[in-house]
């Protein structure tokens, strides 16, 4: 697992993940993350809070495995890091 991802994961249990990232203080970035993550099969809901720079991801653990979530998380961490560094990046897409 990418250690860069671990510093953003604040809680992780079956069906629920909370992440914090400085780029999520931006309304546009947080909204994009919410909208794109909710398109992923198995993700039930994504809530964001720009004050704390966090996302709460609720998912069906019977559909998404921890390995799949880790892969998604690594892709999202790379995207959020690029956004924070003001580099051009496209949000990751998972079906």
pLDDT digits (tens, 9 = 90+) for 31-83: 999 999 999 999 999 999 999 999 999 999 999 988 898 889 889 999 999 99
Domain annotation covers residue 92: no
Domain annotation covers residue 70: yes
Q: Determine the average pLDDT of the residues in 7-13.
A: 90
Element (H, E) at 81: helix 66-84
Domain annotation covers residue 91: no
Query: What spatial distance separates the first Cα and last Cα of the chain, rounded to whole Å?
Result: 22
How high is the pLDDT of residue 94? 85
Which two tokens mark 58? 């609720």
Domain annotation covers residue 61: yes
Domains of the chain: total: 1
How high is the pLDDT of residue 66? 84
What's the domain range around 36? 3-84
DSSP state of 64: S
Residue 21: give its domain's CATH number: 3.30.70.100
CA–CA distances in Å: residue 4 to residues 15, 26, 77, 79, 80: 22, 20, 8, 12, 11
- 0.85 cut: is pTM over it? yes
Domain annotation covers residue 93: no
């Amino acid at each position: 697992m990418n250690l860069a991802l671990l510093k953003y994961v604040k809680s992780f249990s079956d069906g629920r993940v909370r992440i914090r990232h400085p780029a999520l203080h931006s309304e546009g970035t947080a909204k994009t993350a919410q909208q794109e993550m909710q398109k992923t099969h198995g993700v039930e809901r994504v809530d964001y809070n720009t004050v704390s720079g966090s996302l709460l991801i609720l998912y069906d653990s019977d559909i998404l495995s921890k390995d799949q979530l880790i892969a998604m998380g690594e892709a999202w961490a790379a995207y959020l890091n690029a956004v924070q560094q003001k580099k051009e990046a496209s949000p990751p897409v998972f079906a």
